Amino acid sequence: MDATVTKRWLLARLYEPEQTIVDCRFTLGKPEAGRESYEQEHIPGAVYLDLEHDLSSPAGEHGGRHPLPDPQVLAARLAKLGIGNDSRIVAYDDECGMNAARLWWLLRYLGHENVFILEGGFSAWKAEKFPVTDHQPVRVPSTFEPKVQPQMLANVDEVRQVSEQTVAATSSSPSALPVLIDSRAGERYQGKEETLDKKAGHIPGAVNYFWKNTQNEDGSYKSAEQLVEHFAGLDKDREIIVYCGSGVTACPNILALEKAGYRKVRLYAGSWSDWISYSENLVATGEK
């Protein structure tokens, strides 16, 4: 089954007991806005998970603006909300799916595959006049045992090595190196503007695939065929390491890559904000 579900699919299964709906709405710069929106109205039965309090660890010197949460801490939080190893999770947000994709990736990182993203998010659901409520459900705690998948991650040392080897490679070099993908908007990748991090530019050797270009205007993901065309310049046999500003918007790009048939995809979780926290790391600007 696809990693995304339609509004009508969810409507037909809204009250199935094995399912947990998770509201992931969050606005950068307005950390309380997501929870406030949830408390005002949300999809019936939905619980709330906050990007910074639940789906990230506190930021430190390294690790980026949104470090990954400790697996045991996240597992305990999920269990408290009634999410168990047998649960089906449907996540949504109102930010083109980027926070929902963060939860989607994290659950798979914990070994839980039965997780999906609602196409279009909350506004699209409400626009269809589908039910909303301000009632917060009482959840019976469950048990969630994480089975961490470390192969889904790339650390800064690996990324540094790939960057150096990519820059040093020539046209005659073997093309077995992993591909570094920068998921941010072109202006940030090129170093023309930067409003979130202390340095502008990109990791040397990375190529730019803006995450929002994987979606249609209504916030739904493009079809598998369209995504195959979108990523046509990438070899499916090569490993791909995806990053963004802080490890969040890389996740919808990972979802899109997998939908297009790429299977060797990893996340550099600290991403650009982690990369620039090391003074020895080089910074590139421009188109390449």
- 254 phi/psi in degrees, rounded to 5: -65, -45
Distance set, CA 46 to CA 13, 17, 78, 189, 192 (Å): 13, 12, 13, 36, 40
Residue 244 annotated as catalytic: yes
**Measured distance CA(220)–CA(223) in Å, rounded:** 9
As a whole number of angstroms, the distance between CA 256 and CA 1 comes to 14
Which has the closest alpha carbon to 203: 161, 172, 153, 264? 161
Strands 240-243 and 265-267: parallel
Number of residues written out for the chain: 288
Catalytic pick from 24, 96, 244, 251? 244
3-state helix, strand, coil in the chain (%, to 5): 30, 15, 55
**CA distances (Å), 65 to each of 15, 18, 19, 160, 249, in order?**
36, 34, 31, 19, 12
Catalytic residues: 244
